[in-house]
Structure 1
């Protein structure tokens, strides 16, 4: 049975985009489910709809609260729900950097323009004033900068003769309802997609000096050009069902300690011995900075001193 990613939706108003996400999630093939709808407005129509549909809700008025305190309480409610992702759906609050950082790469927003055009408000009016041929909408990852995160998808909507901001907005809203669920489904699916995970490892491994990639025993393998190998990516190797990074470590003691501390993530890779550790990448949340650190450490164990010296020198700048 498909294990679905858990999503919390934040809204402030009627919740039409939340409804689109919720009803899309009812399809048997949808890779996510809505586990919480939360709002800074206890009277938000979206809360009433979620309650009617049997979805857990949480409301906390922001008036009289410091922004950081409000965000911390909202964050606690989201985490208590078990949510792994957050979708903003008309949440009319500027989030604190700490809140955003806590959901890095796992919080999405939909904006009614073709970003980078028209961040902020009055998007349809601005598109019409500029004489644009198209308006549209964008789904993007949320960063500390307003409407500035990496774009996950866009839909252009033609401007028609005689359009007003209201008529254009109505058609863009239809596009929003179609786009948001697709982009959210793609985002949660890639967390366990072998192609995505291998690509993320590849980007970091090949950024190391004089590294290259070959295929070895059916696995992507990274090494020093014409030298030793420092990393492999195992993708269901011998039918083990795992997508994992294999890197060099100091030996059996470190291997045993890592496995004891986190047996779900670390394991002893068959055929590789005590000097290697397997690190699961397909558990839904990957600390890619930590993976980059593991790759660099393993690279250093195989690279000649002339290369490690160059990297040390570069790190000083």
Structure 2
């Protein structure tokens, strides 16, 4: 990873902000105002090797010891409490490890926040005729999120949706909402579901948006939805490619195949099921491709493939 990739990835985490309280040579990253990482920008007069890019991050002391023993590119932090902070020379490490370390540092700080201020994640599960749909896909996504942000929870008390969801035969079409965070599942609630009518979609653009994990904080999506200009919904374009609507994945029919964006904002559970069953294929989709599509379908955990179709003429540039 390079320095811009580190910054972009860190800012993609829920509720993360950046500032420079220590001057122009460093950027600090905070969650709910608490610093969990400091990225050196490559200048300043420090009595260390200034030729290698690095960041300092806070981790559990035993995790710091483990990483330092395994990787020469991870050392006690120069300017921080060396028991709790490590310097990570990220250019010398695999991207997956760097991302894991950043997320672990984020998780350490999140776990110390008051419960009401902690970022939370959610699984929305369809209950149809008394049966919960696609539970293995929801369980897999929840486990990926917990492993990513809260590895200690993954080791000690991984939640299991099949034990948490209670269904009744009278639930003809309900939405189950499971909210979880650093301390496990915090809320399970149920509500009747009715599908929104969508016939027009406004194209909006944002090259910095990130919503890789299903977080309860939807402020970035809500800000884009406010640009729908009288349409029923939006389609978000990032780096000149179609991603998602504000609450669904999508697919277009090009005359031969149903194609879904290769880089969606959120890897939905219904999308994963459709890909596994060979009903859709991944592709880079441009606005021009979208406008030329024969058919357009929107889908998510609550909307099955084919239940909501929009005419291409309903797309507004």
TM-score (norm 2): 0.32
Q: Pick the structure with more strand per residue.
A: 2
TM-score (norm 1): 0.32
Q: Which has the larger radius of gyration?
A: 1
